[in-house]
Chains A and B, each alone.
Chain A
Amino acid sequence: MKTTVISESSNGALHPVTAQLVGAASPLGGQITVICPGGVGSSDAAHISGVSKVISVEGDCFETYDCLAWSKSLSPLVEGDLILSSSSAIGRELISSIAASKGIPVVQDVISLTDGFSATRTIYSGKAIEEVSISPPCAISLRANSFESAGEGGSAETTTVDVSQEVSVAVKRALARASERLDVSEADIIISGGRGMGDPANFSHLNEVADVLGAAVGASRAAVDTWDEIPHSMQVGQTGKTVTPNLYIAVGISGAIQHLAGMRSSKFILAINKDPEAPIFGVADYGIVSTWEDALPVLKDHLAELMSN
């Protein structure tokens, strides 16, 4: 049994999900090789426990992202019964391309994996769970935070190869920075404020949390109606937008039926409200009875800490 893990990077460093990929592969036994596109994070990868070999793949083509060029450079170095990547946008593209070049099947966004291989994933936007068996050799992308990270303490041997391929996708210019805030109808995470925010200027505290999470900022109708600064496009609810994010954070929102109509199908709901009797707690998976003044700064700090490792 041989596994090749394609490492994930962000901001020029190894992304922590890489250790989770190794963590998922370890129980399956055998040798684990980590391939680092562009050489990013190869020394950190070598320290993940359970890794037998790291291949740092350098080359000009890794300066910008070109799926075909990357996959052509990596593909000859990838071997074994199982190829793993993260299910980020680039992770999915790369592993599909590599799998296709090797003529092996790929299964994406898997949340559990056992010997053999048997994998589960959610389908129909989370309305059902599918368990599949996949005959090796095969490629699988894993959802972040679904697997235990492998610990540190490894000392794998690292080889560096330079295999640049011709780049066909040229980046001409940047149009907008990645951090531009999303619309509530598009976001996976939404943080909304209500009348309890007291003043529209206090929405800046929601913005700060949103920036940490890459979330969109929404509002209750009371907030939209009371304050001109809060546009109707932010309103969630029966007469606003209906949203189904993975996480909905309601701050200073009482949870009127018309508000619930727009957000109760969110996968997880976190409510922060100073009134323990507020109806929003009836639909919240996690409720924090506190003023936002107390809770939001702590929330921001802890999220920032968590997101950075």
Chain B
Amino acid sequence: MAYEALDFYDIDSLLTEEERMVRDMVRDWVEDRVLPNIEDACRDGVFPDEWRVEIGEMGILGAPLKGYGCPGLSYIAYGLICQELERGDSGVRSFASVQGSLAMYPIWDFGSEEQKEKYLPGMAKGDLVGCFGLTEPDYGSNPGDMITRAEDKGGHFLLNGAKMWITNGTIADLAVVWAKLEGEIRGFIVEKGDEGFSAPEMKGKHSLKASVTSELVFQDCKIPKDRILPDVKGLRGPFSCLNNARFGISWGAVGAAQSCFNSAREYALSRIQFGHPIASFQLVQNKLSWMLREITKGQLLAYHIGKKKDDGSWIPEQISLAKMNNVDMALEIARMSRDIHGANGILDEYPVMRHMANLESVKTYEGTHDIHNLILGRHITGIQSFTREP
């Protein structure tokens, strides 16, 4: 049966023709290439390399960035791309988010001219893969306390420390690594093969199985002086990247939720119990209508914040709200959809259990659900409550 994305409030009519064409292109690709292969990819715990090549060929990486071979699309188009990729699998969307918003973006915004020319065109084509190293084994929600250090050795920098939970790490050609230089957070570009740098893969995930997650280890890692991002200091660097990625997630979560809703609706209409399709029972209808309601609200949030990204009138707290709301909504919908599927819901024949497990990661990365609550709390009251110190 052809996929009909839930669009109760006709968001479609608000899109430009170009945005619709990009959305359809990605939707068709997901249908053709991701859905038939995703369960195998999850079982084997791999992100198939041909997906990298094909995503690169579509030209969607770094979607909203302009120049240096980047697509220069609207933020709405970027959101739609995330929505369609995550309707396939959060792991595929993660690949694109990390590449575009977390690796390409800081080079594009804070890099030197030479750095931009050197990396961005290849990254936009998917020939070079990037990753983003902020989280450490002991510092997750509070990256400001990170211990990874850079030392200026005159002719080069020396990096020491470790990053953890790094998407794309093992398959990356370059890592944007945040480390402290003389006590101040700075961004560095570390290339695969740099002396003292390794990126072992983390195994045993029950979530985002089709995405590569790695440690980055720096043991007297020597990098040339021109690998520092010249134009940013402090947490503003990583946080600006996160704003873009979180924005993409607010759309991606809608895609995962649409997929779960679709599956639940079809299943409920075809599953007969007590002599009737379960879709005809009021309790099941209540669940479906709740899903419709929540997805529709999430779509409006995502669309509106997309418009604000495009006209530049947004504030980070608005993105926090969209990320936390939409991921929370998608996770609840995945659980409810699993319930409607009964025992079948736990099988890999249906996408729901996979989305549900994936969304647990999505709820945690890019600022946990509660960290976004705290961001909003500070915005409302003016009082920070991340830490007990004044």
Contact = CB atoms under 8 A, between A and B. Distances in A.
Nearest to B266: A261
B271 interface: yes
B285 interface: no
A-B complex: 4 closest residue pairs judged by Cβ atoms: A257-B270, A239-B349, A242-B1, A261-B270
A309 B271 CA distance: 44
Interface of B: 1, 270-272, 349
A238 interface: yes
B161 to A, nearest CB: 47
Contacts, number: 9
A261 B349 CA distance: 14
Contacts of B272: 257
Contacts of B1: 242, 261
9 contacts: A238-B349, A239-B349, A242-B1, A257-B270, A257-B271, A257-B272, A260-B270, A261-B1, A261-B270
User: How big is chain A's contact interface, by range?
Assistant: under 10
A257 B267 CA distance: 10
Nearest to B2: A242
A263 to B, nearest CB: 12
Contacts of A242: 1
Nearest to B270: A257
B346 to A, nearest CB: 15
A260 B320 CA distance: 44
Contacts of A260: 270
Contacts of B271: 257
A216 to B, nearest CB: 20
Interface string A250-263: 00000001001100
A261 B272 CA distance: 13
Contacts of B349: 238-239
A239 B272 CA distance: 19
A239 B351 CA distance: 12
Nearest to A265: B1
Contacts of B270: 257, 260-261
A120 B311 CA distance: 55
Given A257-B270, A261-B270, 7 more contacts: A238-B349, A239-B349, A242-B1, A257-B271, A257-B272, A260-B270, A261-B1
Contacts of A239: 349
A260 B269 CA distance: 13
Nearest to A242: B1
A261 B1 CA distance: 9
A238 B271 CA distance: 13
Contacts of A261: 1, 270
Nearest to B344: A258
Interface string A221-265: 000000000000000001100100000000000000100110000
